[in-house]
Amino acid sequence: MPLSLLAATDGSESAGLAVGLAVSLSRGEHLKVVAVTPSQAPTTLSLLDEIATVLGGSPGSLAAESHRRAELAAIAALDSARRAVESSLKQGEWRLSGPVDGHPAEVILEQLASPDIDAVVMGGHGHGALGRVLLGSVTDEVLVHASKPVLIARDTRADGLVVALDGTPSSERAAAMAGLLALERSLPVHLVVAHQIDSIALPVADERIEASIREAASRWAARVRACSGLGAATLDVIHGEPVHVLTAQAARFAAPLIVVGRGSDAGPARLGAVARRLAHDARVSLMVVP
């Protein structure tokens, strides 16, 4: 059964990528696009009133203008999304919703809780130190609290996947989701096991360590291939820091999407270290599966 996707937009460039990727993955079918008009925080409203007074305006005037502009941007984003879907597929189960006022993360999580939505696609804001600031609280909050997969879009392409395996239930769920995406669209999938086991610290021969690691990785891969329909997926076992290994493999295979579990140590209000770093630093799209 095709995945039903939710794409969240606020009219920004990164949100436009999210809509484009969602259209690419859904081919215009089983897609809902929601436009969000962010509500202003009390501190912001108070400061806007102070500025309006200094400029000779009335309290509330700047806040009203700010909201009006945000609403116009959301309406324009919906119109752009409509054109994108219509150009991709003339027929299909797709819906437009909004603009919806409210805190963006809360709006997205509420929409995502609907039983007819399988995953959400959101915009990402670059990478590196600046990216960490710009990614902001909205994406972080959704990543932490979502009970369904969250896809951070940095490209509109979806023609290959790199999937992280680490033997945990979280990574197996990620592989299952990757399988659904791949089977519907005949996408190539590359399974990757990245480890940092140093033979110097272990009292056994190097070859025995390497053989044990590869045997475990093969078991994990066999399990997800059998359960997720990934029989044709390749497997690479690589020594190295996981984030570096995954991004390097994505570059090697020209795969625009990395799929990871939220993390073996991630509770209901935590995000695993690998998923968090990829969310902030990866140059390709990222799906985080809880």
Residue from 166, 132, 133, 145 nearest 103 by CA = 145
Handedness of CA 244, 248, 242, 209 (dihedral sign): negative
Running along the chain, 290 residues long, what does each successive block of 10 average in pLDDT? Answer: 79 79 76 71 60 71 67 70 63 62 82 90 58 56 90 89 92 91 85 80 68 91 87 91 94 95 61 86 92
Residue from 40, 38, 116 nearest 77 by CA = 38
Q: What is the fold, at CATH topology level, of the domain defined by 161-289?
A: Rossmann fold (3.40.50)
3-state secondary structure 100-167: EEECHHHHHHHHHCCCCCCEEEEECCCCHHHHHHHHHHHHHHHHHHCCCCEEEECCCCCCCEEEECCC
Q: Can you tell me which residue has the tokens 């939505």?
A: 117
pLDDT at 250: 96
3-state secondary structure of 93: coil
pLDDT at 191: 96
Q: What would the two tokens of residue 210 be?
A: 């390497």
**Checking phi first, is residue 75 left (phi over 0); if not, alpha (psi -120 to 50) or beta?**
alpha
Question: Which residues of the chain does CATH 3.40.50.620 include?
Answer: 5-153, 161-289
CA dihedral 49, 54, 57, 60 (to 10 degrees): 0
pLDDT at 126: 39
pLDDT at 93: 61
Answer yes or no: CATH 3.40.50.1100 is held by domain 5-153.
Answer: no
CA angle 112, 113, 114 (to 5 degrees): 90
Q: What would the two tokens of residue 256 be?
A: 């625009």
Strand partners, 95: 32
Compute and round to an integer the Cα radius of gyration of the chain.
21
pLDDT at 276: 87
pLDDT at 129: 40
Please tell me the distance from the alpha carbon of residue 175 to that of residue 235, in angstroms, as a whole number.
12
**Angle of the 273-281 helix axis to the 128-145 helix axis, nearest 10:** 130
Please tell me the distance from the alpha carbon of residue 155 to that of residue 1, in angstroms, as a whole number.
25
3-state secondary structure of 52: helix
pLDDT at 135: 43
CA dihedral 257, 173, 249, 264 (to 10 degrees): 120
pLDDT at 127: 38
